[in-house]
Every structure is written in structure tokens, then in C-alpha cells.
Structure 1
Amino acid sequence: MGSQPASGASSPAAASQSLTLAAMMFAVSMTFIDQTIVSIAAPSIIRELGLSSAGMQWVVNAYLLSLAAFFALGGRLADILGHKRMMLIGTLTFVVSSALCGAAPSGSGAETWLIVFRAVQGLGAALMFPAALAVVVEVFPLERRGRALALFFGVAGGLTAIGPILGGWLTSWTWRAIFWVNVPVAIVAVVLTLLAGIRNTPRPEPIDWRGAALVAIGMGLSVLGLQQASTWGWDSAATWLCIGFGLVFLILFVLAEQRAVDPLIKMRVFRDRAFAVDNAVLFFAMMAFVPVFFFASVYAQVALGYNANQAGLYLLVFFAGFAPGSQLGGRMLDKRGAKAPMLLGTALGAVGFAFWAAKITDLSLGAQWWCIVLGGAGIGLLLTPASTDAVNRAIGASYGEVTGITQTIRNYSASLSLAVLGTVLLNTTTSKITSTLTQQGLPSGVAHSTAENITQNLTGHSGGTAPSGTSSGTLDAIRLDFAEGNRYVLYGMAGALAVAFLCARLHPGTRVTRDTQSAERPAGAHLDPGGAEGPRGA
């Protein structure tokens, strides 16, 4: 991976850059698809393997828990062992565990088998993703990096939406195929990586295992508490003990890192105002971006009466705005810096989600599509500039480390949003269905317990259906009640994007350039192959 020109699409170097970008997109595509694909296949898995509903929830959560716990370590290992090497290790870990998930035996051990190897999948993704993104950052020169990462994040975002479609289609054959499909994708990623001729560039340094343990325990416990809040209840001691102890461990992690000689995360990077703002924008924006796929998928199946494949197509409307928004955001970043696209993206996103909330009770895609496209365009506009600007400001070219930071923040934000907004949806929908049933003559106590059962059934792993025997008129009323519950969810997402807009206003507006990087490059900082050093910018 030698020095590469910034332009000249027909040159061997440019061809190598294209191969590298394609290889990394194939690798991370598996991690994005797996965030949504398993939930679609859940009813089939439960039926064939005899899993409990709680066990199935753990199959879904084990992946996300492991991902959250090990992102920071994965980013640091990528810098120490080399981005290419860690990307290949992560890919192999991910695909082998994925194949083993697909080979889960029937019987009493099936639940444990799936949970364990889903957790290993999450570990593989945590090792792979920071390394893959760091490879892209390393290979592309600063002036072309925005557009490259716009394509990277644009395709990745689209694959999150494709997960339900692919899951529905594969599950019609066998649920095991949702795991086996990762095998050919991984093979393509590895082959393209080898063909691209990427050089591994390790930076041998001690690993802060104490910090790794503290952040893994802290992230794992707090995310576990958030994930289980809907099952255990917000009034449960277990919920708050997990969240509370998780936060204590995260505080201990921050204190330990400030004193560590070779910290897992260099906390001084947050002294860079632009870097801190980038991550604040990502934190609040991800409260809308990741959870929207879950909530919109369930809404489409319950309120609109779509099947799983049709629900996936409903989500693609969001991608119709996200994809061009992502490309425009990347170009704006390269020309004007991160502040302008972040301001425009957060504003458009907040407006789009607010209009979507207002239209959601129309129960018609025809009335909603332009709101969904607008919301998607806003997210697309801000995602690449915020992520890329943060990585460009890495200290000492620690691209993997900074990517680990941003991805940890994004994943934690999504977990928090899913927990809080999921509770909002459950409580609001239950209240409205209770009112509907009371108006139809049921006693208030019976109406409330019935409403709770209906809501749990609609939002659980049962395929999004109301109980059998429900009359047509009552079913229509319940669908409208569920849509009204989702209205509050979308307003919450619009509010999060409005806060992200206020954060974006605090960005200093400076751009990271070769000159600013050279001026502030600390001793020993590495040059990237495009000629741009890697410390934080002005």
C-alpha cells in the first residue's frame, strides 16, 4: 500500500483503492445485515428449535451486547496488530461463528448454542468493523476520503434496510440460510482484500487490558439493562442495577485511562472541540437512524398489514433519501468541511421525522413517502461528515482507535434509544388500546390486561399479529392505536435530531487539511498512504 495519487481514476493506485473499498464494504455488509435479519426469522427459529421467547430475545441481544462490549478493544487491536490483519481476523471469526449458528442442533442445547455463537459473531464484528473503516481511511487521501466514506456508509445503511427483505426471502427456504449467506460474502471480501494488495502496518504497543475489561463490563452491563428494560420492567431492581453498575464501570474506565501510560483510548482526543461535537452529533442522530428500522418494520406489518418482504420494501423508501443524501454529504465534506452538512442534515432529518410522525396515522405509504425520504436524506447528509471528520482528527494516525470510539458511541446510543422509545411505544399503545376496548364495553381492568397482551404480541417475535378472533372493526382500531403509539416514537426521534442540530452549531467549522495536520502532527505520527498525516486537525 504505497503512496497513491489523489486523482487519476485509471491509475493502478486508483484501481487498488476501488478494490479496497469494495472489499471493506463486502466485509462490513455482513455486520449491518445481521442487525436486522435475525428478527425476521425469529418465529421460524422458535418453531423449529423449540426456543422460548426469552431465549430468542437473547439470541438477538447476544450479538448486540458483544458488539457494544468489544468495539473499543477492536479499534485498539487494529492499530497495534495492523488494520488489514485485524480485518481478516474479524471476518474469519464472524463467518465461522455465523456458519455454526446455521448449524445449530435441535434439542435442549440449541438455545445455548445459538446464544454463544451469536456472541462470538458480535466479537468478530467488533474486531472487523473498526479495522475495515480504518483501512478505507488509510488508503484514500484526505481530499477524496469524504466521497469514499459516503459510499461506504451509504451502502452500509442500505444493507441495514435490506436485512428484513433478505431475511424474509431466505427464511421461506430455511432460517439457517440467514447465517449461511454470510459465507460467500466473506469469501468475496477476503479475495478482494488479497487482490487489492493492502499492506499491513502494525504499530506494536502495550495493550491496556485493564481498560479493555472495564469498558467491556461497563458497556455490557449498561446495554444489557437497557435491552432487558422492556422485559424486566423499568421498575425492576435488575434493570437499574445493570445500568447503574455499568455506568460505574464506565466512569472507572475513564478515570483509569487518564492515568494509564498506554491507554486503550486516549481521552485527550475529546479536548478537540470538533471531535467532541462530531461524536455528540452521532450520539443523538443514531437515536433515530438505527432504531427506525426496527420500529418502521413492525409498524408496516402491524398498522399497514404488510408481510415481512413488503415491510422491507417500506424501509427502502428511507434509503431512497439516505443514499443521495450520503453522497451529497460526502461531497460537501470534501469541499466545505463537516459543519455545513451536519447542520443541513440534522435540520432536514428533524423536519422529515416530525412530518412522518404527523402522517403516520394515515396508514398509507402514499401519504408518508416524501416524509420518509426527507428523513432519510437528512440522516445521509450528516452521517458521513460527522464520522469522517471525527476519524480525520485521530491522534497519531490512530484510525482504528478513533473508529472504535465513534462506533461504541453509536452503538450505545442506539441501545439507549431502542430501550426508551420501545417503552414509549409499549406504554402509549397499551393506553390507547385500553381506551378502545373500554369504549367497546370491557371493564377497565380486563381491558388493560387484554391491551397489555395485545401490545406484547404485536411488538414481540410472533410476527406482528393481533390475537385470533379479533373482529375486523376492533382490529382496525388497534392498528390505528398502534400507529398513534409510533407517532410518539417518531416525535422522539425528531427531537433527538433537533438536539443534534444544536450540537452541530457548536462545531468550530474548521477543516482538516494536509497543512493543519502537518502543523499539529505529534512526534512519531504516521503518514497515511495518500500523504495526509493522522493527528487531529485545527
Structure 2
Amino acid sequence: MVQYKWIALSNTSLGAFMAFMNANIVLISLPAIFRGIDINPFDSFQYLLWILFGYSIVSAILVVNVGRLSDIYGRVRMYNIGFAIFTIGSILLYITPGTGSIAALQLIAYRVVQAIGGSLLMANSAAILSEAFPPNQRGFALGLNGVIGIFGGVAGIIVGGILATIYWRDVFLVSVPIGILGTIWSLRSLKQLSPPNRHQKLDIPGNLLYAVALILILVGITYGILPYGSEVTGWGNPYVIASIISGLVLLGGFLFLERRVSDPMFRLELFKLRSFSASAIAILLAQLAFGGLQLMLVLLLQAIWLPLHGYSYSVTPFWAGIYLLPLLAGFGIMGSIAGRLSDKYGAKILATTGLVILGAGFLGLTTLPYDFSYPIFASIIFIMGIGNGLFVSPNMAALINSSPPQHRGSASGIRAMLTNTGSTLSIGIFFTIVIEVLYLLLPSTLTSALNAAGAPQLAPFMAKIPPTAAIFASFLGYNPVSAILSQLPSSVVSSISPHAISIITGNFWFPKVIAPAFMKSLKIAFYAGSAMAFSAAIASALRGKTIIYERDMQNTTVSNEK
């Protein structure tokens, strides 16, 4: 057993490394991927959203189901299958045969395959570690697992930046050897330490209700970010409203059903445990705060700060990742330390302090001008990474430790579902704030700047640019002005002096013009993030004393098993 716990830690850490690396490789390499499949960024933000969101949406839908199946059929078996499916998805992404919109749809479909494998890995890794390590070492194991995942994220930024300049398909190929190694190793080395409960029944109605409800809610949120008719966002779209309302109604029906079946998919009785419920609520609120932060900071760097400091649009994605490394470093340094401390002192003080630090970090970001000093920016995000590291490992250990051993697959699935759902909701909230504020400020800002630059002919066209298109074009490493000029009649373009065109298509003009409005919108989003982080801290502080099920509740019945 002593030797096996390190085998389990190393194998699950390899899975975390691969998943984090893959996520950052895709984020950093999107400009190269979109150029490789020959797609116009102004007509493609719906594809961009689904490549980014599709993975997390599918994961959020599946992880609870997978956790429940793992309790029945075995966590190690499901984990092994996850490694294999993730590897197959990576191979499919590498050989994507189409171009244009067809290729974008293929990439989205293959990312869904990856997400299925990732769900099997995510839902079972914490449960496997909780079986392999004794209660007084679980925080350390979970923390170290998260830190190695962060190393994967750093590797993804560097490797993705290098491979994207060589050949866009290679960014997907890099996960394949890791996936093959992990699949073989997990098959040969991992053991099912606790027997699965084959007497439990699958909750098929609950599975269907839950899946449809979450699909409707998350898809509605995703399309709420996109323009609808003359509106800058789609929150007034009847289909978006109907999708979200229908999803919420079905979710209510799902919760009603789960209280009345003998073997429910969603173990609601776990929420009767104060330590579990407080940990779960804190996860959701923390993800609402932190889930969209990295993407917002990438936008700030790529769309504003890097171009203003002389970086060409072709390299801004890579350097945005490099300049965000302090955020990952703070998490990596504190993650394993906090996990070890939580084994000794419990999660309450550590997790709550981490969330307070995270909330204060958001407030620190609101004080920055758009042309900020990088050392100050790096210090703030490093401290925010430390705060997140203080929270994640102790809180995860508290949630797993308070769960009955036979339901830890379900508990791990609930944790993963809350993480992915909160992250998707967070991106939707942040994007909505940014887009709505830019919609109010951007037209007049662009008109005044074009008049001053000697290109008033462009004002009627530029003022109509949806903020979504401008943001995503910048995110993908394109100068939106150049893209607009390429779509205008030649008579309009020829009426503008070459000097004016050279000014407005340079690296500096567009980011400098939109910088004040963009920074104002981000500050409002950061205030919202701060409020959610402090709310998570309150939930964490109300968790009560640390509970380890094997020690504190062995004789207490918290399940509804017969």
C-alpha cells in the first residue's frame, strides 16, 4: 500500500498534466488553428466560443454521471477508459481533414470526444487518490496533483507557442504520446482498492433529466454572449430565454426526482453534511469569480497591453501566456503547501484566507491603468494565484474527506461538475459585462478617433463593429481595422490617404483607441469577480469543523442505501 499510493499519485498527476497542458495549448494556439483551417475571425466567433466552451460544457454534463457509474463499475476501470478516449480525441484533432466552417465543426466535435475522456479522468482522479492515501495525507496528495497540473499548464503555454509557429496540427499531436503512456501505465499499475457496489441501479430518468437540463442552461448562456439581431448580446433572444428557463424547470424536476429514487445519480444526502455542502458552495462561487479571470487577462494583454508595447499581433497570443505565468506560479507554489497544511490544520482557515486574498486581488486589478507597469500587474496576479492555491487543495480535501468512501466517485463528480459549470458561467458573466459596456462606449470612441486620424470615411463602418467581433479578432491576434478594410469596397479604401491607413492599421492605433473603454469594462467585471470571491469566503467560513468520515462519522448513516 505504501508503494501503491505513489503509483496512484504519479498516474493521476500525469492525467492532470495532460489535461492542463491541452487546455492552454488550445488557448494559446487558436490564432494559428484558425489561420490553418482558413477561417475569417469576424465570421467565426461562434466557432471560437464552442471550441473554448464545448469541452467544459460536456465535462460539466458528464462528470456527475461518470462519478456515479464509477461507484458502480469501478473507478480505476472508468479512469483507464478516460485516458484512452482522450488520446483518441487528440488523434482525431490532429487529422482534422476539412477547411473553413466544416473544419471548425470537426474541431468542436473532436473536442467533445476529448471532453468525454477528460470527464472520466477528472471525475475519478480525486477518488482514486482518496482511496490510496490515508486521511491525514489526502490534502498533500490532492495539492501535489494540482501543482503538477499547473506545470502542465505552463508547458502548454510554452509548447503551444512554439508548435503553433511550426504547424498548427502539431499542437494536438503533443498530447498523444502522453495519452498512450498514461493509458498503458494505468492499465498495468492502478488497482481497485474498494469493491464497486454492483447492486446499485442506474438512475436512467435522472441521468436524462440532468443531462438535458444542464445542456439547455449552458447552451443558452453560451448563445447569450453572441449578438442577436441588432442587439450586442443574445440575452433577449427568445431561444436563449426559453433554453435557460426550460433547463431550470427540468433541473428542478431532476432534484425532485432524486429525492424519490432508491439509487439516485446525484447524492443529495451528501449536502446534509455541513462540511461537504459548504465546500461545494465555495467551489461554485470561487469558480464564478476565478473561472473567467485568465481569459479576461489574456484579452487585456493581447488586445491592449502587448500591442501598445510593440508586440505584433502574430505573437501576442504566445506572449500573453508567458506574461500570465505568475498567476500559475502562485498557484503552483502554494497548492502543495496548502494541501499539506490542511492535513494538519483543516481547511477552514486556509481556504477562507485564500478566497479573501483572491477577492482583494480582484480589487487590486481595478486600480491598474490600461498602460500598467508589468511588475505591479505580475505581483497582483501572483498573489491571486497564491490565494487560489490556498483555497483549492484544502477545500477539495475537505469535500472528499467528508464523503462516505462508497460515494467518493459521486462526490468527486459533483466537485468537477461545479468547477466546470462555475467556470462556464463565469466566462459568460465576464464577457457580458465587457461587451455591454463596450457597446455603449465604443461607437463614439471609434468615430472620434477616425476623424482625428484623417479617415472619417470609415466611421460609419467601424461604428457598426459588434464589440464581440472586435474582442475576438484581437483575441485571435488580428488587427480588426485591417480585417474591416479588406471587406470594404475599393472605392471607400482608395479615398483614404495611405498615411491614414498606415496609422489605423498599425499596432498602436486600435488598442490605444479602445483601451480606456475596454479597461473600464474590465474593471466592472473585476468588481463582480471580487464580490463573488468574498461570497465564496463567507461560504467557506461557515463550513464548521473539519470532518474526516472514517474518523468522525463511521457510525453515522448519511446514505440512503438499503
Question: TM (normalized to structure 1)?
Answer: 0.88
Deviation at 1:441, TM superposition (A): 7.4
Partner residue, 1:234: 235
| Matching residue within 8, 14, 22 for 2:10 | 22
Q: Which residue of 1 aligns with 2:282?
A: 281
Higher mean alpha-carbon deviation, 189-198 vs 96-105, is at 189-198
> Any idea what the Cα deviations from partners look like across 1:181-214, whole Å, max 9, x if unmatched?
1111112323443454523643212111111111
1:130 lines up with 2:130 in the alignment: no
* C-alpha displacement of 1:462: 3.3
Does 2:190 correspond to 1:202?
A: no
Q: 1:89 to 1:110 in 2, by over 3 A?
A: same
Q: 1:531 aligns to what? A: none
Contact 1:336 1:511 in 2 (8 A): no
Q: 463, 477, 499: which one pairs with 1:450?
A: 463
Residue 266 in 1 paired to residue 267 in 2? yes
The amino acid across from 2:127 in the alignment is A
Write out aligned runs for 1:27-42 (5 A).
27-42=15-30
8 Å contact kept, 1:37–1:167 = yes
Partner amino acid, structure 2, of 1:394:
S
Change (3 A) 1:222 1:314: same
Report SS of the residue matched to 1:206.
coil
Could you report, residue by residue, the CA deviation over 1:232-256 in whole angstroms, capped at 9, with x for unpaired residues?
Answer: 4111112112211111221111111
Partner AA of 1:372 in structure 2: I
Percent identity among equivalent residues? 26
Paired position in structure 2 for 1:86? 78
Q: Give the residue type in structure 2 aligned to 1:16.
A: Y
Please tell me the residue identity of whatever aligns with 1:28.
A
1:148 is aligned, of 138, 141, 146, to 141
CA distance in 2, matches of 1:446, 1:272: 60
1:333 is matched with 342
Which residues in structure 2 correspond to 1:420-439 (within 5 Å)? 420-439=429-448
The residue aligned with 1:512 is 548
Task: Give, in whole Å, the separation in 1 of the partners of 2:344 and 2:283.
Answer: 21
Which secondary structure state, in structure 1, belongs to the residue aligned with residue 265 of structure 2?
coil
* C-alpha distance 407-354 of structure 1, shift in aligned 2 (>3 A): same
Partner residue, 2:52: 60
Letter in 2 for 1:206: K
Matched, 1:115 2:108: yes
1:400 positional shift:
1.0
- 1:225 and 2:220 aligned: yes
| Cα separation, 2, equivalents of 1:103 and 1:163 | 20
My pick for the range that moved more, 302-311 or 97-106, is 302-311
Deviation (angstroms), 1:522 = 6.5
Query: Residue type matched to 1:340 in 2?
Result: I
Alpha carbons of 1:171 and 1:491: their partners in 2 closer, same or farther (altered >3 Å)? same
Q: Deviations over 1:446-483 (max 9, x none)?
A: 57962744652233453253423426456423234323
SS at match of 1:359: coil
Q: Does the Cα contact within 8 Å between 2:370 and 2:516 map onto a contact in 1?
A: yes
What is the letter of the counterpart of residue 89 of structure 2?
A: S
For the residues of structure 1 that align with 2:110 and 2:254, how far apart are their CA atoms?
27
1:462 lines up with 2:456 in the alignment? no
Structure 2 length-normalised TM: 0.85
Look up the match of 1:412. 421
Partner of 1:520, secondary structure, is coil
Helix, strand or coil at the partner of 1:172: helix
Q: What amino acid does structure 1 have at the position aligned with 2:395?
A: A
Which amino acid is the alignment partner of residue 203 of structure 1? N
Worse-superposed segment, 15-24 or 450-459? 450-459
Deviates more, 1:88-97 or 1:460-469: 460-469
Q: Deviations over 1:65-101 (max 9, x none)?
A: 2112111111111111111110011111111122112
Query: Which digits, 9 at most, give the CA deviation of each residue in 1:31-59, with x for residues without a partner?
Result: 33333432433333333334561344433
Map residues 171-186 of structure 1 onto 2, 5 A cutoff: 171-186=164-179
- Displacement of 1:121 in angstroms is 1.5
Task: Tell whether 2:528 aligns with 1:492.
Answer: yes
Q: Which amino acid aligns with 1:450?
A: A
Provide the residue aligned with 1:532 in structure 2: none
Hey, what's the Cα distance between the residues in 1 that align with 2:153 and 2:291?
Answer: 8
Instruction: Decide which moves more: 157-166 or 113-122.
Output: 157-166
What CA RMSD, in Å, does the superposition of the two structures yield over aligned residues? Answer: 2.6
In structure 2, do the counterparts of structure 1 residues 415 and 57 end up closer, same or farther at CA, with 3 Å as the change threshold?
closer
AA matched with 1:202: P
Q: Work out which of the residue numbers 93, 96, 114 in structure 1 matches 2:88.
A: 96
Which runs of no fewer than 5 residues in structure 1 stay unpaired?
5-12, 526-538
Instruction: Tell me the distance in 1 between the aligned counterparts of 2:261 and 2:477.
Output: 49
Correspondence for 1:216: 211
Please tell me whether the aligned partners of residues 19 and 195 of structure 1 are also in contact (alpha carbons under 8 angstroms). no
TM-superposed CA distance for 1:396, in Å, is: 4.6
Q: Kindly provide the amino acid, as one letter, of the partner of residue 53 in structure 2.
A: N
Query: Residue 217 and residue 33 in structure 1: after superposition, are their counterparts in 2 closer, same or farther (change >3 A)?
Result: farther
**Cα offset, 1:161, TM superposition:** 5.3
Q: Which amino acid aligns with 1:208?
A: D
Contact 2:29 2:161 in 1 (8 A): yes
Contact 2:481/2:510 (<8 A) preserved: no
